[in-house]
Amino acid sequence: MIKTKTIFSIIKSLCIALLFVIKPSYAYDLADVKKAGVIRHIGIPYANFVNYINTDGLYTAQGLDVELIQGFAKYLGVEYQFVPSTWNSAFGDLTGKEAIYKNNVIQYGKTVPITGDVIANGATILPWRKQLLDFSDDYFPSAVWLISRVDSKLQPISPSNSVDKDINTVKALLKGQNVLAMEQTCLDPNLYDLYKTGANIILPEKAHKLNEMVPAILNNDADNTLLDVPDTLIALEKWPGEIKVIGPISEEQFMAAGFRKDSPKLREAFNDYLREIRRNGTYNQLVEKYYPSVFYYYSDYFEAHKSNDS
């Protein structure tokens, strides 16, 4: 009898333990998010999409994508939760399976807990990323440009009527040039065949943030750097007269929010929300707040989307 009670106690304890393990049931699609009452936003500090503000030792996230997903949470009638991450861990945080992009190949790692429902931090839509997640409708234009210090011998190219021709013109300038790049991001040199140009590609020994690329060339870590449009717009305002745009390295790119492949309803709801805030002007107000100069360079993009969503 005592033995039976002991076994029963062990089983009971195990059941209780399992309840605590199972309790944080991870939301997988729209119905689960609504049931949980919260949407978890995976974000990586980047430009004006996601950045941290230190107020008396307390860190809070702010930025275009933070406000965008906060608005989505309100649209769904749920709470908002920010989940800080890095590009080395973000895909695991979303899908439960670690993954990195190395030497033009996706390398999978271990199984990890799912901690978020959507990645949004100015994430560029790239072919290899589409194998890991499903992107929403795009909501911000981008491209990768070559940026140099103002004292560099390289001079900005004269744009032609062909982006491909402009890219080839820029690549022809790279032989023997030191170029700072970063794997795991849209600045990965493998994406643009830059090793074939004869450039001396410099990868940071320790993890840099994208907004540290320009300070690195100003510190003479390299003469040139790859940089995408959002960071370039900020850099030109922050360091006027110290850097110059040589020309494009990539064709036009686009940014979007990333969802698990088993969250189609959640992604669909986000696209509905995105169309609504484009129609009522809320989205352009957000962009104006964080990237006012982008309308000068990409007015056609925002006008086209405004017309399509009307």
| AA identity, residue 254 | F
- The pLDDT of residue 281: 95
- The pLDDT of residue 211: 74
- The pLDDT of residue 286: 97
- Whether 144-251 and 25-140+254-308 are alike in CATH topology: the answer is yes
- E-strand spans in the chain? 38-43, 51-55, 58-62, 79-84, 97-102, 105-111, 118-119, 134-135, 140-142, 144-149, 178-180, 200-202, 224-228, 243-248, 253-255, 258-259
Q: Parse the chain into domains and list their residue ranges.
A: 25-140+254-308, 144-251
Per-residue exposure over 70-90, b if at least 16 CB sit within 10 Å of its own CB, e if not: bbbbebbebebbbbbbebebb
CATH number of 25-140+254-308: 3.40.190.10
- The pLDDT of residue 1: 47
Q: How far, in Å, CA of 290 to CA of 229, rounded?
A: 13
Give, for all 310 residues of the chain, the pLDDT tens digit.
Answer: 444 444 444 434 434 333 333 334 444 899 999 999 999 999 999 999 999 887 766 778 999 999 999 999 999 999 999 999 998 899 999 999 999 998 889 999 999 999 999 999 999 999 999 999 999 999 999 999 999 999 999 999 999 999 999 999 999 999 999 999 999 899 999 999 999 999 999 998 765 667 789 999 999 999 999 999 999 999 999 999 999 999 999 999 999 999 999 999 999 999 999 999 999 999 999 999 999 999 998 989 998 876 566 5
In CATH, 144-251 is 3.60.10.10 = no
Point out which residues pair with 117 in neighbouring strands: none
Q: How far, in Å, CA of 241 to CA of 126, rounded?
A: 32
Q: How far, in Å, CA of 186 to CA of 202, rounded?
A: 15
